[in-house]
Amino acid sequence: MTALPIAVDAMGGDRAPKEIVRGARQAMEAGIPVVLVGRRGDLPIVDGIEVIDASEVIEMHDDPAQGVRRKKDSSLVRAAEAVRDGRAAAMVSAGNTGATMASALLRMGRIKGVSRPAIATPGGTPTVLLDAGANAECQPEWLVQFAQMGTVFARHRFAIDEPKIGLLSIGEESSKGNTLVKETHERLMSAPGVRFVGNVEGRDIMTSAVDVVVTDGFTGNVVLKTLEGGLQAIASALLGAFASAPEYKEPADALLPALLPLYETLDPDTYGGAMLLGVDGVCIISHGSSGARAIVNAIRVGREMVDADLVGKLRAAVTRD
């Protein structure tokens, strides 16, 4: 049996279509079959890559729900339909995140039993953070499912047998936090399939204290963007410091080989994007600024998650009240 291709939204992202197509071509050269989805006329012809034609584009600033409703022939909607219809094994997009979620949710549907899909992201380190922004307001029982889905994801994405799950709060004590956290803490204590180690704080996210950090999508999104901004601020402060006097140029150059692997570790492109857990198909959400390297990694992750039957394992893992 030939493996189904990964559907890549060629129109989504700040650097689309050029960098997206470049990434797709590299993936294909690495042996992963892909199919591009987009306006055929706008795409460079790439030998051996099929194109699913889609005449519309949901722009970055479009309202997600409206975009999906009105632009039925958009690359995002068509990519999700390709997965639904068995023409593709997974979808990858660096476009409008909200519209990516909406397309996947409306076209693929939810996994039976899942209350709400959540975005899981490596968040700058291999620690998985979810929900990173799919649900601005959450119920405790959703967070329990996020913990169950995060467990399965960390197991197959990062090969951690029994991932440690932490609940993001403002103190380790179970008495600390807001109502959502306190109620979720209670439920996680007895949640099936979850190795719950208790509350964690913001400072634990970039450590190995836990493998999965569970939170609502508002807090998760703020945390993710705060880290992103913080790392960017430091990177530019470092570059500024190194450029502040001519005598720093030589030692800075000498340190470059030491700094590059660090940069690689912290660069979100290394991790190939986030994954929407809970929809009935594999959907990888890449950063809007994704270049070819991020897209290749996203395609690779999509392929791995399909091969691991992640969706089937998520279906088996979530419990309902």
* Site residues, a second copy (CB under 8 A): 124-125, 133, 136-137, 168-170, 176-179, 181, 201-207, 215, 217-219, 221-234, 237-238, 241-242, 244-245, 247-248, 250-252, 254-255, 258-259, 261-262, 265-266
Q: Could you give the angle at which helices 18-29 and 292-307 cross, rounded to 10 degrees?
A: 50
Residues in the chain: 321
Report the residue number, 226 or 319, with the smaller CB distance to a second copy: 226
Which residue bears the tokens 């690359």? 75
Report the residue number, 161 or 247, with the smaller CB distance to a second copy: 247
Report the residue number, 89 or 132, with the smaller CB distance to a second copy: 132
Q: What span, in angstroms and rounded, lies between the C-alpha atoms of 92 and 275?
A: 9
For the bound state, the minimum distance from the C-beta of residue 225 to a second copy, rounded and expressed in Å, comes to 3
Q: What is the number of other CB atoms lying within 10 angstroms of the CB of residue 243?
A: 11
Report the residue number, 172 or 309, with the smaller CB distance to a second copy: 172
For the bound state, the minimum distance from the C-beta of residue 67 to a second copy, rounded and expressed in Å, comes to 14
For the bound state, the minimum distance from the C-beta of residue 176 to a second copy, rounded and expressed in Å, comes to 7
DSSP string across 231-266: HHHHHHHHHHHHTSSGGGHHHHHHHHHHHHHHHHHH
Report the residue number, 215 or 286, with the smaller CB distance to a second copy: 215
Report the residue number, 232 or 319, with the smaller CB distance to a second copy: 232
- The pairing of strands 50-53 and 195-200 is unpaired
Q: What span, in angstroms and rounded, lies between the C-alpha atoms of 15 and 185?
A: 41
For the bound state, the minimum distance from the C-beta of residue 215 to a second copy, rounded and expressed in Å, comes to 8
Go through 272-307 and write b for each residue having 16 or more CB atoms within 10 A of its CB, e for each that does not.
bbbbbbbbbbbbbbbbbebbbbbbbbbbbbbbbbbe
- The pairing of strands 212-214 and 128-130 is parallel
Q: What is the number of other CB atoms lying within 10 angstroms of the CB of residue 152?
A: 24
